[in-house]
Structure 1
Amino acid sequence: TGSGGVEAVVAGQPFPEARCAANEATGTITYLSGFDFAATASIIDVVLAEQSGYFDELCLDVELQSSFSTANYPIVASGDAQLASGGSFSELVRYAGANEAELVAVAVEGRTAIDSLILKPGSAETLTDLQGATIGVKGALPPSVAAMLATEGLVEGADFDTVLLDGFDPLTHITLDGIVGFPGYKSNEPGQLERAGVEFDLFDPSEFDIPGSFGVLFTSRAFLDEHPSAVEDFVRATMRGLADALADPEGAAASALELVEAGGNPSFLSPEGEAFRWATDVELLTAETPEGVGTGIPDVAALQTEVDAYAAVGLFGDGAVPAAADFVAAVPIESVFDGPDVIWPGS
């Protein structure tokens, strides 16, 4: 038997009837995206799974809702949505710890920090040149960037300042007086600046050996305990969607943009931008996932290294360093793969 006492899924064999009944009894599963339906890990794979009918094949009724990663944690914790995309593993741990919420990552697709620090050309040869500078931020300084600056002893508020930026347009932000630069996703802002012919310098936390993650799928411990086969099969369908997206990056990015445009495209995403975003993710997922391992299977030791690095820059407050294992449920995704291949039923 598999999860929740129902029969396990066997590759090429009919989907078990009792498992189908259990999944149908779960009712509608609401999934919240992390940034509109952008072509990125933990969103594009869910979009493709829905469009390809993979959820339907596993007797799941899934509703996709556009959202923003930091808004998702309280909604899933309260049970108003069941699964969602998170920005990074540490973002999930930070929210869950601060709010005593029982949230668990069921997939961590990106095994590196996705953030970077984008600077006006010539404003800093090395990180130490940022002493006394002001950096623009969208919300808050990303932990990986804070940890990178901390390698040179630079602490926010003491050695450099941050100021809140309006909107998400790097072409506007790079022209602003009073800031040297701003953080951005490696998969987004650098591409926008390059396509516009705007010069910039970039500091990448991963080049300073700062660990990180992106493309997180998470649920509540309560929902996982109550509906284990539904969570496992949501992950199964999503991982098949991910395999499709990795195999045909351009087609996948176009599929994501269709959904964005159907929702009115409030964030002004473009075909070029989404193609660049997913191409960047594909490169990182392909390079960082070990040979023979299913993409998305959480590496708890690596996640603990990430948590340790971000605890050192004060991300989790002054208490004990969180244990990564407390915020991971690896059983669903480990049951979905045979080596690097998704176990999928047949007719």
Structure 2
Amino acid sequence: MTGAKAKGIALAVIGCMAATPAMAQTDIRFTLDWRFEGPAAGFLLAEDNGYFEEEGLNVTIDTGNGSVEAIPRVATGAYDMGFGDINSLIKFLDEDPSQPVEAVMMIYDKPVFSVVGRKSLGVTEDPASLEGKTLGAPPPDGAFAQWPAFVEAADIDTSDITIENIGFPVREPMLASGDVDAVFGFSFSVVLNLLANGVPEDDISTILFADNGLDLYGNAILVNETFAEENPDAVEGFLRALAKGFADAVADPEAGAQAVLTRNETLNLETETRRLEMANETNIRTPYVVENGFGDVDMARLSDSIEMLGTSMDLEGNVTAEEVFNPDYLPPAEERMLP
């Protein structure tokens, strides 16, 4: 082969390589339930540590405005996937089973729904102490969405309870100033925000729904069913990446909190580390998850949850556990074990 001919072949090969596009990544628009805080670390570490990229995904993570609002965001296709309250999803699908949204991975095996009050205002850890009180409730809040079910489970007399609709930004300041006696919210968020507002820790009382008769699941990963049907490998890859990200957040909470602070420099590292540790210990790394792996559910327990919600949320009986949660996209259990 002459030098000229070899050079020509080499140039042709280079030209073909240049004309071949890089492997395409699948775009995923993902909505959180809330802003960037400690418990979001698992999502952010999956991004920062390259796990999404390894799966061929280009993920955009946006903040949310409550774990209820994430559901229509995903159902309408405004977002491909999201993070929202599975109990509110049950209600959403019961009202319209044709909505193209389902849960595919459980994050909060034990829900964080709570009413947080102040002992100095007469609120203790006994649900009955809420009777006669004024409770602040952000309408999109996942805990407030479960109030009817909690009232029934805890046998609370609501005849003299006042519910005041308030916005998320003023929730903790209003409780700190005594304008309300207690507020609805996720325990790890409200408690630490109250401390930041100057409320002494020994004056804070937390009534956790899960410890008072309401054995429900919490927030889960949601997917638009049309997107999932068209991109099953992307959904599987996303969940595999998340399992790694949450494992990292459990192994090193401070690194997880640091990932949060890179998105919101106004936060405090110590506070967000503690918030993440609270979520890990209470809601994410539960005994069930340690034994069975992160992300799956016990279908019998989920069915019992739907039955429990039936009366309190006025369900029509249009949805089953299998229609709410689809485990088919989960990686094998051995890939979902938390440290």
Instruction: Please classify the TM superposition score into its range, dividing by the shorter chain length.
Output: 0.7 to 0.9
Q: Which residue matches 1:182?
A: 183
Alignment of structure 1 residues 265-276 onto 2, 5 Å:
269-276=267-274
Q: Does 1:326 align with 2:323?
A: yes
Q: Is the 8 A contact 2:91 2:315 kept in 1?
A: no
Superimposed CA distance per residue, residues 270-304 of structure 1 (whole angstroms, 9 cap, x where no aligned partner): 33332222111110222343444221112222222
Q: Which residue matches 1:242?
A: 246
Following TM superposition, by how much is the alpha carbon of 1:114 offset from its aligned partner in structure 2, in angstroms? 0.3
Select the structure of larger CA radius of gyration: 2
Taking structure 1 as reference, are residues 85 and 148 closer, same or farther at Cα in structure 2, changes over 3 Å only? same
Q: Which residue matches 1:32?
A: 31
Q: Which residue matches 1:154?
A: 156
SS at match of 1:201: strand
Superimposed CA distance per residue, residues 213-254 of structure 1 (whole angstroms, 9 cap, x where no aligned partner): 334111022221221111001111111111111111111111
Q: Please, what is the CA RMSD of the aligned residues?
A: 2.6
Q: Which residue matches 1:3?
A: none
SS at match of 2:119: coil
Matching residue within 269, 275, 278 for 1:280:
278
Greater mean deviation of Cα atoms: 28-37 or 147-156: 147-156
Q: Is the 8 A contact 1:105 1:216 kept in 2?
A: yes
Superimposed CA distance per residue, residues 1-31 of structure 1 (whole angstroms, 9 cap, x where no aligned partner): xxxxxxxxxxxxxxxxxxxxxxx66731111
Q: Is the 8 A contact 1:110 1:288 kept in 2?
A: no
Q: Which residue matches 2:259?
A: 255
The CA distance in 2 between the partners of 1:34 and 1:306, in whole Å, is 21
Matching residue within 319, 333, 336 for 1:337:
333
Superimposed CA distance per residue, residues 21-45 of structure 1 (whole angstroms, 9 cap, x where no aligned partner): xxx66731111121122221xx322
Unaligned 5+ runs, structure 1: 1-23, 262-267, 343-347
State the number of aligned residues: 306
Following TM superposition, by how much is the alpha carbon of 1:79 offset from its aligned partner in structure 2, in angstroms? 2.0
Letter of the 1:301 counterpart: A
TM-score (norm 2): 0.80
Q: Is the 8 A contact 2:38 2:276 kept in 1?
A: yes
Matching residue within 65, 82, 91 for 1:94:
91
The CA distance in 2 between the partners of 1:211 and 1:38, in whole Å, is 25
The CA distance in 1 between the partners of 2:226 and 2:298, in whole Å, is 22
Taking structure 1 as reference, are residues 187 and 130 closer, same or farther at Cα in structure 2, changes over 3 Å only? closer
Superimposed CA distance per residue, residues 160-210 of structure 1 (whole angstroms, 9 cap, x where no aligned partner): 220112443555222455632112322122233346352122222222131
Q: Which residue matches 2:299?
A: 300
Q: Does 1:128 align with 2:128?
A: yes
Q: Is the 8 A contact 1:144 1:210 kept in 2?
A: no
Taking structure 1 as reference, are residues 121 and 257 closer, same or farther at Cα in structure 2, changes over 3 Å only? same
Q: Which residue matches 2:60?
A: 63
Matching residue within 45, 68, 89 for 1:48:
45
Following TM superposition, by how much is the alpha carbon of 1:312 offset from its aligned partner in structure 2, in angstroms? 2.6
